[in-house]
Structure 1
Amino acid sequence: MSALPALLAPEPDAPFPPVDQALRHPDGLLAVGGDLSPTRLLNAYRHGIFPWYSQGQPILWWSPDPRVVFRTDGVHLSSRFRRTLRHSDWVVRADTAFADVVQACATVHRPGQRGTWIVPQMRTAYARMHALGHAHSFEVFEGDRLVGGIYGVAVGRMFFGESMFSAVSGGSKVALAALARHLHGRGWPLIDAQVENDHLMRLGAQRWSRERFIASVAELAVQPVEPGAWTQAVGDWPASRLAQATSSAPPDP
C-alpha cells in the first residue's frame, strides 16, 4: 500500500509533521488539510513548508528534496541583458501593488501550464499576510504600467519566494534581481525558490538538500525582524542600477 501524507489537525497552531516524513512520490508532499490562516502559514514557512494545490483539491503542504534557492548575492543577469538596462527607464518599488502582482502571477500565460495554483483562497490568504506586514511584492514599472513583479513571505531574515511574472520581457528578472540586491544589503542571505525550472537555474538558482535548507531556515527565520511594509525602504529604485554586475555573480556562459 502506498504511503499517504499526514492529515493536519484543524487548529491553526497545530504542528506539522517532521519534513523528513514527506513523500518521495510526489516529491515533498507532506500533509493535507488545515487552513491558510496567518498562524498556520507562518508556522509552515518557519519549518520550510509551503502550500501548493489546484482548484478543487484540498490544501496540500510540501517540503521537496532538493530545494531550489538563490543566494541574494548570486542572482545572475547576462551581460546582454545588463547592457539593455543601462538606459532603462524602469523603476522598481515595493509593496505598492501587491494585489496586482499576485493577480498577474495567477493569470499570466506560462508555456506548458494549464490553470493556476494561485486560487482565490490563496490570493485572499496572502492579501491578509500582506496587510499584516509578512508578505511583500517587488514591482517593476514602466511609467504607470506594471511590467513585472515577484511576491513572497518574509520570516525573520528569510524570504520565501512564491511567484513572479513578466508582462514585458525581462520584467521578472529585474524584480528578482532588485529584490535580491535589496535583501543582500540588509544581510538576508537567501531566497527560497521552492522547485526547479530551467528559467530559475539560468538566473543562478542552486539545488540544496532539504537538510541543508531546513538548517538554514531554522537559523534565519528566528531572527528578530519586525513585519511591515518595505515601500519607504526601497523607494523608487532605478532598474538601471542592475546594469552593473555584482562581484559574486557567476560568469556568463
Structure 2
Amino acid sequence: MVRLDENEISFPDPEIYDGPDGLMAFGGDVSVERIWFAYQLGIFPWFNPGEEILWWSPDPRFVLFPDELKVSKSMRKILNRNIFTFTENQNFREIIKNCQQTIRKGQNGTWLSDELMESFIKLHEYGLAKSIEVWQNGELVGGFYGLQIGHVFCGESMFSKVSNASKAGFIHFVENHKNDIELIDCQSHTEHLESLGAKMIPKREFLKILHKNNERR
C-alpha cells in the first residue's frame, strides 16, 4: 500500500497496482483537486473521520448499466401514484448533510467527515458534483449525490426518511438519463442496488469505460 504525499497530488495506477481488497493508498488530503483527480482514475476515499485517509479501487467493481435497470411491479405502482416529486441540484448541501447524519445498519457514526463534505460541496459549486432530491408534500425525504465524469456517474451516498424514497429517486434519475449516462459507479456491493440491476464487473472493464469518458469529455 502506498503512502501519499500531502504536497503532491498523485496515486498509484489502479490498472497496475492491486492493493488488499482494493485498498490503493493512504494519507494525502481530501482537497477538491485530489478528489477530482482520484475519481478520474477510478479511485475513491473511504475512511472513518479522525482516522487515516484511505483510497480504494476495488476489483471487481459494482456498477449499473442504465439499460439493465430493474423496476419491480410494486415499485412501479409506487412511482405511478406520483407520491414523490424529484429535482436535481436544487439542494446539494442538504442532501449531503442528510447522507452524513443518516444512521446505517452495522455502522457506528459516519464515514463522511466535515472536511470531505465541504470538498464535495465545492465540487458541486464547480459543476462537477450533482444531487438528486426526492420530495413528498413539500418535504425533502430522500436523495443522493455523486460526481459526473463525462458519461459516467459516480454515486457516493444516499438517504431516505420514508420508505422507498431513495429507491424512487434512483429509478427516476436512471430512467431520465439513459441517453447521457453510460454507466453508474456504485463502488461497493449493496443488496439495495443489486435489486435494481447493479452487478459486479472486472475493474479493468470499469476503468476502460471511465478512461474513454475522460477522453471525450
> Please, what TM-score do these two structures have when normalized by structure 2?
0.94
1:197 maps to which residue?
A: 190
- Higher Cα Rg, which structure: 1
Aligned to 1:39: 33
Show CA shifts across 1:106-163 (max 9, x none).
1122222211101111111101111111110001111321111010001122110001
Deviation at 1:214, TM superposition (A): 0.8
Q: Which amino acid aligns with 1:39?
A: E
Task: Write the distance in 2 (CA, Å) between the matches of 1:160 and 1:220.
Answer: 12
Question: d(CA) in 2 for partners of 1:36 and 1:147?
Answer: 28
**For structure 2, which runs of at least 5 residues remain unmatched after alignment?**
none
What amino acid is aligned across from residue 21 of structure 1 in structure 2?
A: Y
Q: Of the candidates 166, 169, 177, which is equivalent to residue 183 of structure 1?
A: 177
- Partner residue of 1:243? none
Aligned pairs for 1:8-157 (under 5 A) are 8-11=4-7, 14-19=9-14, 20-24=16-20, 27-157=21-151
Runs of 4 or more consecutive aligned structure 1 residues displaced over 3 Å after TM superposition: none
Paired amino acid for 1:114 = N
Change (3 A) 1:22 1:121: farther
Instruction: Check the 8 A contact 2:145/2:158 in 1, yes or no.
Output: yes
The 8 Å contact of residues 42 and 155 in structure 1, kept in 2 or not, is answered as no
Equivalent position of 2:156 in the other structure: 162
Equivalent pairs counted in the alignment come to 216
Q: Distance in 2 between matches of 1:11 and 1:197?
A: 35
Matched with 1:229 is none
Tell me if the contact between 2:64 and 2:183 (Cα under 8 Å) persists in the aligned partners.
Answer: yes
Deviation at 1:105, TM superposition (A): 1.1
Deviation per CA, 1:9-67: give whole Å up to 9, x if none.
2235x32101132322xx11101111222221111111100011101212111000110
8 A Cα contact 2:84 2:165, kept in partner:
no
CA distance in 1, matches of 2:116, 2:32: 12
Aligned mate of 1:6, from 2, 10, 24:
2
Q: 2:79·2:168 contact (CA, 8 Å) conserved in 1?
A: no
- Answer yes or no: is the 8 Å Cα contact 1:137–1:152 preserved in 2: yes
What amino acid is the match of 1:47? L
Q: Which amino acid aligns with 1:15?
A: S
Whichever residue aligns with residue 174 of structure 1, its letter is A
Match of 1:230 in 2: none
Unaligned runs of 5+ in 1: 225-253
Secondary structure of 2:68's aligned partner: coil
User: For the aligned residues, what is the CA RMSD?
Assistant: 1.3
SS at the partner of 2:148?
A: strand
Q: Report which stretch shifted further, 70-79 or 58-67.
A: 70-79
- Once the two structures are TM-superposed, the CA of residue 166 in structure 1 deviates from its matched residue by 0.9
